[in-house]
Structure 1
Amino acid sequence: MQYPEKTVIKDSIFHVCVIGLGEIGGGIFLELSKKFGSDQVYGVDINDAVIKRATLQGLNAGKEIPKAHNYIVSVYTAKQIIDVCQKIPLDTRPLISIEATSEPDEIQKIDQAISNSGNYDLVYFPHRFNPDDPDHQYFNLDRVIAGVTDQATKRAISFYSQFMSKDLIHEFPLPIVSLTKTMENTYRFIEIAIAEDIKIACDKRGIDFNLLREAMNTKWNINVLEARDGIYKKCLPKDSAIIHRFFPDLKILTAAIETDTEYKKYAKGVLRINPWYIISPLIIFSVFVIFMISNRIMSHFYVDPIYQRVEDLHSNIQQINKESSSGGEREERLNREVVDYIEEVRELKEAKNNKIIFPGTMLGGMN
């Protein structure tokens, strides 16, 4: 599908180019377009639907990386980071800021991969983002930064200070910053796994975990997290896996991963019982009961009277044969008895058809 981009990027040099317009990069792209103006900011993504949505909002977006003075890279995997950085034009000696999750030694690998292509300043500025908390998103919360060189760090702080408080930017050595984001989420992963393990133990002893958690959290320095249905989504499992590869001897993390795996199975079996497992048998049982009751009602109000009337007819015919002396009298009485029988059966059928009696839900009417 083809649709026009707002700006022809061939001869343009943008102030900022955001590469990767997912949940994090897309938000950064919108924020910076508001700050600097949409004509100064360009967004790059491989997803046609994402690009179309941006262009319909009057923003600059496309698949090709244009020239820019500052690049913010917010793609998903470490391999994507290197691939993207190798495609960035270095004509303007740009600032390249990596805001994506990376392996602990990834920034050095990126620097080695592009070092012979031109001049640039490379920094790592890992994002911190809480999707349900607007007070802690993008540029209004404390973050850590590190550059490959001191010059890169200073340039990045100067750039980001244009749209966030300088006091929120904390400089640390690159090896530390490279571990910070993934270790933060790993720590969170471990905390949740502890809560999951406690909940399983509480359930086995019939103890209300939520009430215990509430009581424990009344202490000023205790914050037991919720144990929901396991640790899903993207960041925590992905970042914990990165740290697990980097620190394979981190025993508490190994235990936490095993605990979460066990808890997910437990939660599926106990906490997330499909309600249809309960409802379906009840529905089937109810239908069966209705079936039996309706047939009994039909038998009582419709079938039984017919059977009884047939028996009465048979008995009356025998009685007429015994009592009647002449053939004409006997024939007249027999005819009258048959007419009465036919009339009574007809009245029963009309009552059934008019729902005066209940002929049975499952079997339907009898005509």
Structure 2
Amino acid sequence: MLKTEKKVAEKLIEKLNNKTAVIGVVGLGYVGLPLAVEKAKAGYNVIGFDIQKSKVDEVNQGINYIGDVVDEELKELVVNKNIRATTDYSLIKEVDTVAICVPTPLDIYKQPNTSYVESSAAEISSYLHEGMLVVLESTTYPGTTEELLKPILEERGMKCGEDFFLAYSPERVDPGNKQFKTKNTPKVVGGVTENCTRVAASLYSNVLESDVHEVSSPSVAEMEKILENTFRNINIGLANEMAILCNKMGIDVWEVIDAAATKPYGFMPFYPGPGLGGHCIPIDPWYLTWKAREYNYHTKLIETAGEINNEMPQYVLSRIMEILNKEGKALNGSKILVLGVAYKKDIDDYRESPVLPILEKLEVAGANWTVVDPHIKEYRYRNNMETPMEKVTLEMLRNADLVLIATDHSNFDYEEIIVNSKVIFDTRNTVRSTNLNKNYYKL
């Protein structure tokens, strides 16, 4: 270990421990803003960076736009000048550490789009100074930190591990989770060098209440995050396939899963649904599928699970048609009341929501639909911004030929929905009863 590296590392660790370090966060979305808030709450001076002026303005006014951030906490932090936001990336020269929390979407060919990460790294490189820690938190393929970020950051002559520190620490945000938030979710950290890991671990240890788990390299940390979400993707795919088969066999898949879940070992319950949504599970496994091609390996299980999950919106449409046929109605011209457009329960996030392709398929089939979601102010549909209805009314329920429970928000009045609907198709097993005296169907 170089003496200079150790000296620079110890100096930064001291600043982190005594809370004199200035912390930067690039990207103030679902990951970045909660992280910036936690760092400010821990006693650091935090600067948030974002290219969207609207977000920057809202943060500086103490206006919260992320469900997992407490409104009053953000306002207090802004008033006390613990946190501020800017579009001016030259202020990176003032920070001691910077976390990159920008999107890593897939393109139309399901290949990683790393342009946001690359542009962020280029901006940071312009203002990189000795002793700075850079941490990538965006989910990506194994090798990104060392193969993509490190060369960009070293372009101006500074050496990773000697002049600055670089690590990967995957975000583990679960929107809407009432038990685990950014503050208390264990953190995985992998640095390019031993001291890179040590410095990054020191930062998170001073911010979070959770354990910090150190791994041997950024690639291990990157692969770990992919494994987490691939595990969920595959098991949800299995649950969805079981749901399709159980329906054909006249078996209640939800009862089957509940029964299997009584086993105290060797089984973890996963549940079917109308498809996958969110910023991680539908996307992350494809990063690995793409990277695997470099090693001449075909990820058969991952791709099969992806195909099953991607076909669920079409399966939902098929079931709707089947149910309406039983009621003597055609889908064309029918009125469908869709409850929920968020990708999961009790959140204001509709990214990759499976409800969106369901709406498109209903429209193509000639159905007329109305969306109700008390958590979503507006959503993008076919390149237009749509505003869902905020509340379910008796008139909506009684006029609908079929009510589709697409997202099981807690503040829907399910008793009222059951009593006043002609036909219900529940994709979330919201009404846990087998003795309903009406036309109630489950996925």
Q: What TM-score do the two structures reach when normalised by structure 2?
A: 0.57
Q: Percent identity?
A: 24
Out of 158, 167, 176, the position equivalent to 2:220 is: 176
In structure 1, give the amino acid aligned to 2:38.
E
CA shift in 2, pair 1:140/1:271, >3 Å: farther
Question: In the aligned structure 2, how far is the partner of 1:148 from the partner of 1:170?
Answer: 12
State the match for 1:43 in structure 2: 48
Deviations 1:221-267 (A, max 9, x none): 31231111011222111101112212351211121112112322102
> Residues of 1 paired with 2:243 and 2:207: CA distance?
44
SS in 2 for 1:236: coil
Tell me if 1:110 matches 2:154: no
In the alignment, structure 2 segments of 5+ residues that lack a partner are 1-19, 63-77, 105-113, 325-330, 337-366, 369-397, 401-443
The answer to whether structure 1 residue 69 and structure 2 residue 126 are counterparts is no
Distance 1:46 1:181 in 2: 26
Partner of 1:146, secondary structure, is strand
Structure whose alpha-carbon radius of gyration is higher: 1
Q: Write the deviation string for residues 33-67 of structure 1: whole angstroms up to 9, x where unpaired.
A: 22225xx2100111122111111023411111212
Q: Match of 1:250?
A: 299
Aligned amino acid, residue 87 of structure 1? E
Structure 1 residues 200 and 240 mapped into 2: Cα distance closer, same or farther (>3 Å)?
same
Residue type of the partner of 2:115? K
Residues 218 and 166 of structure 1, relative CA distance in 2, 3 Å threshold: closer
In the alignment, structure 1 segments of 5+ residues that lack a partner are 1-12, 285-367
1:185-200 to 2 correspondences below 5 Å: 185-200=229-244
1:238 aligns with 2:265: no
- CA 1:34/1:142 → structure 2, altered by over 3 Å: closer, same or farther? closer
Distance of 2:102 and 2:117 partners within structure 1: 6
Contact kept? 2:168, 2:222, Cα under 8 Å:
yes
How is 1:155-170 mapped onto 2 (pairs within 5 angstroms)? 155-165=199-209, 167-170=211-214
Given that 2:139 and 2:170 are in contact with CA atoms closer than 8 Å, whether structure 1 keeps it comes out as: yes
What are the Cα deviations for residues 39-98 of structure 1, in whole angstroms up to 9, with x where unaligned?
Answer: x21001111221111110234111112121010110012221121112111124310011
Over 3 Å counting, the alpha-carbon distance change for 1:17 and 1:139 in structure 2 is: same
| Cα offset, 1:166, TM superposition | 7.2
Q: Which shifted more, 273-282 or 61-70? A: 273-282
Give the one of 81, 90, 93 matched to 2:128. 90
The answer to whether 1:53 aligns with 2:58 is: yes
What residue is the counterpart of 1:131 in the other structure?
Answer: 175
Structure 1, 70-79 or 161-170: larger mean CA deviation: 161-170
After superposition, give the CA deviation of every residue in 1:194-213 in whole Å (9 maximum; x if it has no partner). Answer: 00000000001111111111
Superposed displacement of residue 152, structure 1: 0.8
Q: 2-side partners of 1:232 and 1:160: how far apart?
A: 29
Contact 1:145 1:171 in 2 (8 A): yes
Question: Between Structure 1 and Structure 2, which shows a larger proportion of helix residues?
Answer: 1
Higher mean alpha-carbon deviation, 18-27 vs 91-100, is at 91-100
* Contact 2:335 2:399 (8 Å CA) reproduced: no
Question: What's the TM-score once normalised by structure 1's chain length?
Answer: 0.68
Q: Contact 2:38 / 2:183 at 8 angstroms: preserved in 1?
A: no
Q: Which SS does the other structure have where 2:96 is aligned?
A: strand
Partner of 1:261: 310
What is the CA distance between 1:170 and its match in structure 2? 3.1
Report the Cα offset of residue 137 of structure 1: 2.2
Residue identity in the other structure for 1:75: V
RMSD: 2.7
The one of 106, 112, 117 equivalent to 1:81 is 117
CA–CA separation in structure 2 for the residues paired with 1:239 and 1:133: 20
Match of 1:120 among 136, 139, 164: 164
Q: CA contact under 8 A between 2:145 and 2:219: conserved in structure 1?
A: no
> Normalized per residue, which structure has more strand?
2
**SS of aligned partner of 1:162:** helix
Deviation of 1:271 (Å) = 5.5
- What is the rounded CA distance, in whole Å, between the counterparts of 2:209 and 2:171 in structure 1? 15
In the TM superposition, residue 167 of structure 1 has moved relative to its aligned partner by 3.5
Aligned-pair CA distance for 1:269: 2.5
Query: For the residues of structure 2 that align with 1:30 and 1:121, how far apart are their CA atoms?
Result: 23
- Secondary structure of the residue aligned to 1:23 is coil
Report how many residues are paired: 271
Give yes or no for contact 1:142–1:170 (8 Å, CA) kept in 2: no
Aligned partner of residue 47 in structure 2, secondary structure: strand
Deviation digits for residues 306-359 of structure 1 (CA, Å, limit 9, x no counterpart) = xxxxxxxxxxxxxxxxxxxxxxxxxxxxxxxxxxxxxxxxxxxxxxxxxxxxxx
Amino acid at match of 1:52: D
